[in-house]
Amino acid sequence: MALAPYQFGMQHTDFRRLCALHRRNRPGNAAAERILEILNTEDQLKDAPNAKKLNSFTDSIVFDKVAFRYEENPVLKEVSFKVEKGQMVALVGPSGGGKTTLTYLLNRFYDIDKGKLTIDGIPIDQITKESLYQKIGMVTQESILFNDSVYNNLKLGNPTATVKEIEAAAKAANADEFITQLAEGYQTRIGDSGNKLSGGQKQRLTIARQTDPFNRNIVVGVMFWIVMQAFINIGVVLGLFPVLGVPLPLISAGGSSLIATMLAIGVVLAAERDRMSHLGRRRS
């Protein structure tokens, strides 16, 4: 039986809608496949058979003639320095000098090629990765925040933290003042990637997640000078000083004014990458 013109038109419209829906779903399916691929990727850095748990950080971190390369490109050559508990250290130098790489090695995102890297005398590859990550806090160049409340974003630093601990962490990072002025305080939603906040405010939240109330013994910051400008002078950095009795901030920075607040300075040269044999202490 032949279809009436209007019936054919309705079927044609439905078919076009189905094709449009399929086109819209294809990017989503591709993204989901990529996400699952990443989640299912096997970790290449395994714990050693007799790896020890890092219960606390009590003494020092030592880079002893550390060498590292990305594939065939040498990045670090025989870098040696010691950072003691309680020091605030700045690694300065030109782009490509290896500053960020040093922080990656301390987090054991990569294994070193030569030399030794120890925490409290324990080689880093002999420490369980879970316990290492529980003691190290990382503040990256780009703030990692989610479209949720300030409170929930801070709680990512420690899912079992109490309200008082979260507020104490915010105060330690000089973030409590601006948080309490938001429309709903700690319950204010901050938008995708924190886009409702300024650059300095976002950085303060990421620093707050790594402060003493969250039991971070080592705080590592990777920051460009342009990011530091958003800090409203050096107030955020000074906010870390009250907790220096426990954490050890190691900051990789590209600026100079900020460096005046540091307790020790290490210079990384891009040309040779093997000159940082010691940390120069700042004169009081």
| H or E element at residue 83 | strand 73-84
Report the alpha-carbon distance of residue 204 to residue 177 in Å, rounded. 11
In a domain? residue 2: no
Can you give the CATH number for the domain in which 137 is found?
A: 3.40.50.300
Burial of 75 (0-12, 13-18, 19+ CB in 10 A): buried
Higher pLDDT, 19 or 48: 48
Same domain for 241 and 100? yes
Looking at the 3D structure of the chain, how many domains does it have? Answer: 2
Same domain for 64 and 33? no
Of the pLDDT bands very low, low, confident and very high (cuts 50, 70, 90), residue 111 is very high
In a domain? residue 52: no
Report pLDDT for 7: 52
Report pLDDT for 138: 79
Same domain for 18 and 145? no
Domain that holds residue 36: 7-41
Same domain for 80 and 192? yes
Same domain for 29 and 101? no
Report pLDDT for 64: 93
Higher pLDDT, 239 or 219: 219
Instruction: Using a cut of 0.85, tell me whether the model's pTM lies above it.
Output: no
Question: What residue type is 149 in one-letter code?
Answer: S
Report pLDDT for 84: 82
Question: Helix, strand, or coil here: 142?
Answer: coil
High-pLDDT (> 70) share of the chain, %:
69
Higher pLDDT, 220 or 150: 150
Of the pLDDT bands very low, low, confident and very high (cuts 50, 70, 90), residue 86 is confident
In a domain? residue 229: yes
- Scan for tokens 């479209």, then name that residue: 147
Q: Which of 7-21, 22-36, 50-64 has the highest mean pLDDT?
A: 50-64
Mean pLDDT taken over the chain: 74
In a domain? residue 227: yes
In a domain? residue 92: yes
| Range in 14-28, 104-118, 255-269 the model is least confident about | 255-269
Same domain for 137 and 25? no
Same domain for 163 and 31? no
